[in-house]
Amino acid sequence: MSADRPTFNERAPVLAPLAYRVCFRILGDRQDAQDLTQEALARAYARWHRVARFDEAWITRVATNLALGETRKRSRPRPTVESVGPAPLDAIVIQRAELVEVLAGLSKRQREVVAMRYLADLPEAQVATALGCSIGTVKQHASRGLAALRLALEVPDQTVPNPDVPNPTVPPVPTRGVS
């Protein structure tokens, strides 16, 4: 390995928590997330000379794909509100299952950008470098991916209203001459 690039052993303490965070956010199961983290790290080690330059983005992509693959392999039926009841933890399980399903339905590039930006918390510039595209392209895919997620999960858009534009649903406050 050249002197300007760190070795796998030097980067593993950074990459392991990153891969675990991605896997756990998708799967919601600590043991499965740990197992897939080990698999992602083993793959990184085997390909280190090729992935060292963009290791964080690469490990995020591999962890995402492994976690999505694990959800496809699970044979148990998807829980529904009727089958599990209204307990808060069960609602989280249902939401996670729906999120995984919607993530799998995104285009490959949108899924990669959403995973890298919002599951692994990587900055736009690093995602752009890892995917070989511009920051504008990353922003475009992130926007479209999040819009698809909101639509599929029926999450309202939480954009902040512009205070300079009057809201048509709120009547204006009458003003009187105040001395």
pLDDT beyond 50 at 165 = no
Instruction: Assess contact for 23 and 49: CB atoms under 8 A.
Output: no
Structural domain includes residue 153: no
Q: Which domain holds residue 23?
A: 1-75
Q: What is the pLDDT of residues 51-61, one digit of tens each?
A: 999 999 899 99
Residue 81 lies in a domain: no
User: Is residue 162 assigned to a domain?
Assistant: no
Residue 149 lies in a domain: no
Q: What is the pLDDT of residue 15?
A: 95
Model pTM?
0.61
Is residue 30 one of the residues assigned to a domain? Answer: yes
In a domain, 146, yes or no: no
Residue 60 is assigned to a structural domain of this protein: yes
Secondary structure string (H, E, C) spanning 115-133: HHHHHCCCCHHHHHHHHCC
pLDDT the model gives residue 102: 84
Can you give the CATH number for the domain in which 52 is found?
1.10.1740
Distance of alpha carbon 98 from alpha carbon 80, whole angstroms:
10
Looking at the structure of the chain, the number of domains it has is: 1
| Domain presence at residue 91 | no
**63-107 per-position pLDDT tens digit:** 999 998 888 887 555 555 455 455 566 677 777 778 888 888 889
Closest CA to 35 of 53, 59, 19: 19
